[in-house]
Amino acid sequence: MSDITHIDIAVIGAGLGGAAAAALLNKAGFAVHCFEQAPEFTRLGAGIHIGPNVMKIFREIGLEDRLAHIGAHPSHWYSRDGRTGDYLSKIKLGDFAVKEYGAPYITIHRGDMHAEQIGALEPETVHFDYRLTDLQEREDDVLLSFANGKQVAARLVVGADGINSMIREKLLGPEKPRFSGWVGHRALIDMNKLRAGGMEYERCVKWWWEKSRHIMAYATKADGSEYYYVTGVPVEGGWEHDTGFVESSKEEMEAIFGDDAHPMVRGLIDATTEVTKWPFWNRDVLSLWSRGRLCLLGDACHPMRPHMAQGACMAIEDAMILTRALQQTGTGDYRTAFGIYEATRRERATKVQTISNANTWLKQPEDPAWVYAYDPVHAPLQDSVA
Ligand code: FAD
């Protein structure tokens, strides 16, 4: 890396959005490098849904078939009453999604997906152990300084650095994200252990209780051998821990859900071995998506509670639209490109952010086509807001 002093585009953060941005910008012919603070990525215990809206982008990157092969293909998103098991909604996915929305709907381990994303990048363009600590906006470029002592000058900088984004801080000033008052427990479950109880578990089901308390459970592998759940639980007070997550326990799960849980939920709790607890953070809708040579995408720009399963999908959609805007204008006219990007993304990302935070998505029968049928690869770009 020491010989690189000037690059076209620096993507800060190689998370789900940053890795997509790097792949798409590279494919579009831009000289792009991605800088990630972590020394490496590990397979953290969590799943993720990827909608057809984003599988179309993975088709562009060349990963659609691979991810479809690894991930599970739920036939429906079921919503069920957590006590009685009654069905509140049955949203068709599976073959219906392929036919109606133009690509599969998958659920997958996020570590498996991320590993595929990183593996698809040119190795010499991804730089681990590069934590951005400072930046200086100059006449012709931005000088980036990293914790490892390296400096890089980039003509454009994409802040894909997540909810605590340093690029966001540079644009809008320091402001900590707000604790949403909700936590999520996350656990990976061995499906064979679950099946031993004699019940057949649906591949994607959200169990609901009063006050929108819930457990979202789904398969993370094509063969159905791994199952995952994430809860949403409102709590009193703030998040008192210094760490990003803490250990939880089967006992805590029983205390929250056990008393009035359907036998299938009880089975899920019984099969729990390790479970962790995560705070859900939030920010208000941002007033600024870019300034000068800096722009934001994903959680750096529009973090949300995860209840629509579209946070990463929005980050990856951002990456696609940003790439198309830059393709249209070239990097020289980046102001127009950033204006097109914001004009095309703001309304949709804000709508998803709002509904996701409200935690109402697919609880009742509704048509999800506006989310899943959207095609970020071909949808019209809006005129620049600039
Ligand atoms: P991140 O994935 O957070 O990546 C940011 C990256 O930037 C990280 O790798 C970080 O190390 C790096 N970074 C940060 N600061 C610096 C720095 N100074 N220098 C260099 N690198 C830096 N979304 C879905 O689409 N579907 C789901 O089913 C879903 N389920 C979820 C469940 C839960 C419980 C949660 C909490 C979220 C869920 N999401 C889901 C949302 C999704 O995880 C996020 O929206 C997504 O990860 C955002 O991607 P990002 O690239 O913007 O940020």
| Percentage, residues of the chain above pLDDT 70 | 98
What is the torsional sign of CA 342, 347, 352, 355?
positive
Nearest Cα residue to 175 out of 279, 277, 281: 281
Minimum mean pLDDT range among 26-35, 187-196, 318-327? 187-196
**Average pLDDT over every residue of 71-80:** 98
- Helices 110-119 & 16-27, crossing angle to 10 degrees? 30
Nearest Cα residue to 155 out of 293, 264, 39: 293
> What order do you get walking across the sheet with 226-234 strand by strand?
87-92, 76-81, 204-208, 214-219, 226-234, 178-190, 276-282, 246-247
**Is the Cβ atom of 131 under 6 angstroms away from ligand 1?**
yes
**Is the Cβ atom of 90 under 6 angstroms away from ligand 1?**
no
Which atom, in ligand 1's list, is nearest to the CA of 184? 34
Helix and strand counts by DSSP (H, E) for the chain: 12, 18
Among 161, 167, 294, 371, name the best residue to mutate to test ligand 1's pocket (greatest count of ligand atoms within 8 A of Cβ).
Answer: 161
Is pLDDT above 90 for 205?
Answer: yes
Q: Checking DSSP bridges between strand 151-159 and strand 294-296, what pairing results, if any?
A: parallel
- Helices 311-329 & 16-27, crossing angle to 10 degrees? 30
The answer to whether 109 touches 220, Cβ cutoff 8 Å, is yes
40-69 pLDDT tens trace: 998 877 999 999 999 999 999 999 999 999
86-141 pLDDT tens trace: 999 999 999 999 999 999 999 999 999 999 999 999 999 999 999 999 999 999 99
pLDDT the model gives residue 285: 82
Is pLDDT above 90 for 2?
Answer: no
**Is the Cβ atom of 162 under 6 angstroms away from ligand 1?**
yes
Is pLDDT above 90 for 360?
Answer: yes
pLDDT the model gives residue 170: 93
